[in-house]
Amino acid sequence: MALLELRHVEAGYGSMQILHGVTLHVTAGEVVAVIGPNGAGKSTTFKVIMGFTTYLGGEIVFDGRSLVGQRPDTILALGLSYVPQGRVVFGQMSVRENLEMGAYLERDKAKISASMEYVFSHFPRLRERRRQLAATMSGGEQQMLAMGRALMMLPKMLMLDEPSLGLSPRLVDDVFETIVELARGGLTVMLVEQNAARALEISDRGYVLELGRNRFEGTGRELLQNPEVRRMYLGGEARPSRAR
């Protein structure tokens, strides 16, 4: 049974429709990549799941419960966390304060402390910088902080929108290695990523969207080796998949 399932979802921004019947599912424990060209509807898919954009039709079910009409804070409380693109952090707050904001729904201080230790175990640099203002951190460190903040509620599933955007190659490696580490620890992950080949290499399955519609789907390996996917989205070259 899928942890997250979208069936024929339609969505947009006001009267502008972007998604035209997108269907996908994510099973507990999977890493699933959503790729496609700019304007394909990838980020809109994440936003409609979280209740941030105009829902026009279809079904969105998480852990057996419909998300249609739910508020973002209610969705977060159900165990679904979201990291938007752009490394959105509170610049004039410290690393620790940013992480505490990620647990704003939790009132038990012991649970908040345990969550912070969980985050620090995956991002040791955040422990070192816990008193530093977020605005003074590098782009890669801010991305770590944004991901860490989303983990503070110990979600069942994490959605990452362009986690490698604007990062140096070394930091891109760090981000993808962290995603693999989280998945090995049992966290379910869905990511939107322009670096399509790297995303598919670490993913169990993937979806290709185009103009707000499903175009291809399959395992990460199948999509990496699909000649049409390679030609259209991966620069024409076959790439080996990496085990996770």
**Position 227: which residue type?**
P
Closest CA to 202 of 4, 32, 26, 25: 32
Residue 244 placed within a domain: yes
Pairing between β-strand 31-35 and β-strand 54-62 as defined by DSSP bridges: unpaired
Residue 15 placed within a domain: yes
Residue 170 placed within a domain: no
Residue 237 has pLDDT above 70, yes or no: no
> Domain span at residue 11?
1-79+189-244
15-50 pLDDT, tens digit each: 899 999 999 999 999 999 999 999 999 999 999 999
Residue 203 placed within a domain: yes
Residue 112 placed within a domain: no
Q: Confidence class of residue 206 from pLDDT cuts 50, 70 and 90? A: very high
Cβ(160)–Cβ(190) under 8 Å?
A: yes
133-168 pLDDT, tens digit each: 999 999 889 999 999 999 999 999 999 999 998 888
**63-67, 103-107, 227-231: which is most confident:** 63-67
Residue 100 placed within a domain: no
Number of Cβ within a 10 Å radius of residue 72: 15
What per-residue confidence (pLDDT) applies to 244? 54
When the pLDDT of each residue in the chain is averaged and rounded to a whole number, the result is 93
Cβ(209)–Cβ(44) under 8 Å?
A: no
Residue 243 has pLDDT above 50, yes or no: no
Q: In total, how many domains does the chain have?
A: 1
Residue 50 placed within a domain: yes
| Residues recorded for the chain | 244
Residue 47 placed within a domain: yes
Residue 7 has pLDDT above 90, yes or no: yes
Pairing between β-strand 157-161 and β-strand 16-27 as defined by DSSP bridges: unpaired
CATH for 212: 3.40.50.300
